[in-house]
Amino acid sequence: MAKKETIEVFEFDETSKNAWWTLVIGGLISVVFGFVAMIWPGITVGVLALLLAVFLGVYGVLDIVRSLKKFKDSFLSGFLTLVLGLLEVGVSVFLLSNVGSGLAIATLALLVAISFIVRGVIGMVLAFDSASSTGTRWLNGGVGALAIIAGLVIVWYPVSGTLAWIWVVGLFAIIGGAFEIALGFMAKDALEKVNK
């Protein structure tokens, strides 16, 4: 009887395997943020700006950490992830510095939309980066597509659909976060298999 070979659906590069925890932490924060946004729809602009600032700030720092590890495998991947992390930290700092200043909902919506669209475009570029592993491509492509869609919905309905875009942001955070958590644990399992 012939021996069956198993094919890994998700292959992870060394950077993704060793940075699995950044995916899990980012995913958990994303899911928590998403649920808060979904169950607290009457949220004030100031509280929403504060939550988004924390969310984007943590994500930005995690992206900067990921970028430093990604430079080993691919300059393009490392550079784009670094740019994304710096953008997210910058938006976070801006939101934190303007929380009490009556930040207009349209400004908040525009910042969130730009952040999501840039994240999505960078994710899609990284999904097709030849140095990316299969698992990383799925993560970047899936989350990138979701981010672009979420960003465009926010651009189309910035003020009149405030509740709708808060729900879009929440739903994006939950789905994207769950995807990141799953891939993080898959990368951890791949690392453990290699270390056995």
141-167, pLDDT tens digit by residue?
Answer: 888 888 898 888 888 877 666 677 778
Average pLDDT in the 63-81 region? Answer: 85
pLDDT at 173: 85
Q: Which of 72, 70, 96 is nearest to 84 (CA)?
A: 70
Give the number of other CB atoms < 10 A from CB of residue 84: 23
Of 10, 41, 5, 4, the residue nearest 171 (C-alpha):
41
Query: What are the tens digits of pLDDT across the range 27-42?
Result: 898 899 888 888 876 6
Domain extents in the chain: 18-195
Confidence of residue 86 (pLDDT cuts 50, 70, 90): very high
Position 43 scores a pLDDT of 67
Name the nearest CA neighbour of 13 among 196, 187, 193: 187
Give the mean model confidence (pLDDT) for residues 98-115: 74
pTM here? 0.61
Q: Which residues of 110-140 are buried (b: 16+ CB within 10 A; e: fewer)?
A: ebbbebbbbbbbbbbebbebebbbebbbbbb
